Amino acid sequence: MILAFDTYYFNDKAKTVCLSFKDWFNEKPFEIYSETIPCIEEYVSGEFYRRELPNIISLMSKIDKAVIELIIVDGFVYLNDENKFGLGAYLHEKLNKQIPIIGVAKRTFATIEKNKVDVYRGKSKNPLFVTSIGIELKLAAKKIKEMEGEYRIPTLLKELDKLTREI
């Protein structure tokens, strides 16, 4: 099972949604998990994981970890080319390095060049920025490129974003 996580912040709460799917070509999720909890940490540039990670871990407690093949997060695995941890790397550590993580970001991070792949999908001139841990970076980028959908953002990730914003 592949999981994709995203969190949306509103007022003093964080809504985290997880879509599970069986293969990279799905256009509809197999299952949807959702949880809204009070925000604990304020956003700090370069320390996004402090705010996001507790929400993902909390929601993951509802999911059988034995069936998880890979996790996609909205964000970066690494923040620079010296492997400074981002959300994805911290999640990988928290999961005892047992589950590969792919980070997919819509905006680049200025300090990272070699640890990311720009993925162009559809006719978009704007790439998605893919990083990974526990899975080879070029393979991770290929998987994101192959996901269902003809536009820049794969259908399932677009649906995930939409669901997080529904209050």
Q: Please count the other Cβ atoms lying within 10 Å of the Cβ belonging to residue 109.
A: 20
The CB-side HSE value for 48 (13 A sphere, CA atoms) comes to 23
What's the CATH code of the domain at 34? 3.30.2170.10
Domain that includes residue 77, residue range: 2-165
| Rounded CA separation 93/77 (Å) | 11
What domain count does the chain have?
A: 1
What tens-digit pLDDT sequence spans the chain (167 residues)? Answer: 999 999 998 888 899 999 999 999 888 878 999 999 987 667 666 667 778 899 999 999 999 989 999 999 999 999 999 999 999 999 999 999 999 999 999 998 778 899 999 999 999 999 999 999 999 999 999 999 999 999 999 999 999 999 999 87
| Rounded CA separation 135/101 (Å) | 7
| Global confidence as pTM | 0.94
